[in-house]
Amino acid sequence: MTIEWQYTAGEDFGLLSLAGYLGPEGAHRFSGAIGWVLARGTGPVMVDMAGLRGWSIEGQLAVTEAARRLTEHGRSLELAAIPADGSLVPDGDCPPIAVHSDLPAALAAHGVRDQADEGGQEWRTSGWPT
């Protein structure tokens, strides 16, 4: 099992929403999604994990590696609604990763009241749930 993703590039941030299971197979696909995000947006990247059914150690390592990649490009990573079956414990050399209880809290931290207000261009995997 793997993940599906949708990315929305707003004016001052990007929103990457995930669905599925972020395990060994999903970690590779997540890494590819981060490459997509780097090429098509600016500002911090919020990862909405509300659609995830869970994540493995490999998935958590992919998230910390994504934080490093984004930091190298002057961007930060933030998480919203991390899976209940685990917590992210980055190693000592990982950049800070803000964790929000849900997507509205993550958006509010950036002064955005509603995701729909931001508009922006969207991309998604073909299996993204509608």
State how many domains the chain has: 1
- pLDDT value of residue 83: 87
* Better pLDDT: 34 or 83: 34
- Structural tokens at position 46: 């919020």
> For residues 92 and 82, what is the distance between their CA atoms, to the nearest angstrom?
20
What CATH code is carried by the domain that includes residue 24? 3.30.750.24
Q: What is the DSSP letter of 95?
A: P
In a domain, 128, yes or no: no
Instruction: Report in angstroms the alpha-carbon separations of 61 from 27, 71, 89, 115.
Output: 8, 15, 9, 27
Q: In the predicted model, what is the mean pLDDT of residues 85-94? A: 70
Domain holding 26, by residue range, is: 3-116
- pLDDT value of residue 129: 80
In a domain, 59, yes or no: yes
In a domain, 67, yes or no: yes
The string of pLDDT tens digits covering residues 7-57 is: 998 878 899 999 999 999 999 999 999 999 999 989 999 999 999 999 998
User: Which residues have C-beta within 8 Å of that of residue 7, sequence separation ≥ 6?
Assistant: 14, 15, 16, 17, 33, 36, 37, 40, 41, 122, 123, 124
Say if residue 85's pLDDT is above 70.
no
Nearest to 30 by CA among 17, 14, 12: 17
pLDDT-derived band at 117, boundaries 50, 70, 90: low
In a domain, 121, yes or no: no
In a domain, 124, yes or no: no
Nearest to 6 by CA among 97, 110, 115: 115
